Amino acid sequence: MISRARFPPFYYVIQATLGTLVVKLSDQDVMEYVSGENVLTVPLAQQGSEKKPMPCLEIELGEDVLRIALVYRNAECLRHLKNILHPSQMDAQGAFTDSMRTLPVAFETRLSKRGFKETDFVLVKKYVASRVDAQMLSLLIEEAEAIRAGGRRTVDGRSIYEAPATPTLYLLFKQVKSSEVELQDAIVQMKQVITLVSGVKTQREIIHSHISKPVDQANQYHGFVELLNKARGLDVISAEERRHIDKWWRESPEEREHLSEDLKRRIGST
């Protein structure tokens, strides 16, 4: 049996590397978060004002090795992760794929399951983590949902029934030597992905962004029209040029800042 007193130094390595991304724990807290299977669960801290179902970091300590994982164990957490696949989150999907590609090949992404009366998890799928993009993540989440629901599935052309089981997604998994230096190196490599998944938007945030975006654009346009009218009133642009600039602003979002700064410069020179 490994002493729980061995875990606090490893937690402090994680906390020093990830900072506010993890919950701050005392030595006593850390030991209380260690299971009978010598696994330390380190909760990720809430980011922003919206409460989110977060994944956790797990550190399994053996005699000579550490197994480090970023883990999704329940349906709520997986449903939240699925928000990154929403059509409005294309930037987040691209950032996820890019972050995964930076990982060394020693990192894996694993999907496991445990049956109703079973005590151990069985490996279902395993991939090199750097090859997991947003599309593959979607397939893994779908498979996890199917495992949880159970039912009939087609395997090798045959229809079989599978009882509902408990899935676990190890988004990142790596085994290293049992040392604080190797743990720190692994956490540094994981930090970009951990930061990204900690910031996945809730459904409420996604809906709010849809509502607020048109309002923000309307406010920006209102301010721009005021600049146009002021420039026209000072006769630094003609009526025809005013119409042209107005059309340019509406049709070329990437030029809006430049157009506003140009009008301010002209107005300021009068």
The answer to whether 142 and 128 are in contact (CB under 8 A) is no
Judge whether residue 208 has pLDDT over 90: no
DSSP category for residue 64 = S
The answer to whether 59 and 67 are in contact (CB under 8 A) is yes
| Cα gap 190→195, rounded to integer Å | 9
State the pairing for strand pair 166-177/108-114: antiparallel
Mean per-residue pLDDT over the chain, rounded: 89
- N-terminal to C-terminal alpha carbon distance within the chain: 81
Lowest mean pLDDT among 79-83, 118-122, 169-173, 191-195: 118-122
Instruction: For residues 93-102, give the mean pLDDT.
Output: 94
Better pLDDT: 218 or 226: 226
Instruction: For residues 25-36, give the mean pLDDT.
Output: 93
pLDDT band of residue 214 (cuts 50, 70, 90) is: low
| Cα gap 218→15, rounded to integer Å | 43
* Helix and strand element counts for the chain (H, E): 9, 8
Q: Is 74 helix (H, G, I), strand (E, B) or coil?
A: coil
Judge whether residue 211 has pLDDT over 60: no
Judge whether residue 224 has pLDDT over 80: yes
List the structure tokens of 96: 């996820």
Long-range contacts of residues 95-99, Cβ cutoff 8 Å, at least 24 apart: 95/196, 96/133, 96/134, 96/137, 96/193, 96/196, 96/197, 97/133, 97/134, 99/192, 99/193, 99/196
What residue segments make up the domains of the chain, in order of their start?
4-201, 213-268
pLDDT at 1: 67
DSSP 28-49: HHHHHTB-TTSEEEEEBPP-SS
pLDDT at 262: 85
Lowest mean pLDDT among 20-24, 35-39, 163-167, 249-253: 249-253
CA 46 to chain centre: 12
Q: How far is residue 170 from each of residues 72, 164, 190, measured CA to CA in Å? A: 6, 19, 13
Q: Model pTM?
A: 0.76
pLDDT at 83: 93
Judge whether residue 251 has pLDDT over 80: no
Q: Which of these, 196, 96, 193, 194, lies nearest to 138 by C-alpha position?
A: 96
pLDDT at 235: 85
pLDDT band of residue 263 (cuts 50, 70, 90) is: confident
| pLDDT one-digit tens code per residue, 144-181 | 999 999 888 777 778 888 889 999 999 999 999 999 99
Q: How many CA atoms lie within 13 A of 168 on its CB side?
A: 18
List the structure tokens of 121: 């998890």
The C-alpha R_g of the chain, in whole angstroms, comes to: 26
DSSP category for residue 83 = G
Residues near 91 by beta carbon (within 8 Å), at least 6 away in sequence: none
Task: Give the whole-number percent of the chain exceeding pLDDT 90.
Answer: 58
Instruction: For residues 217-234, give the mean pLDDT.
Output: 81
Residues near 174 by beta carbon (within 8 Å), at least 6 away in sequence: 67, 68, 69, 106, 107, 108, 186
| Cα gap 102→128, rounded to integer Å | 12
Task: Give the whole-number percent of the chain exceeding pLDDT 70.
Answer: 95
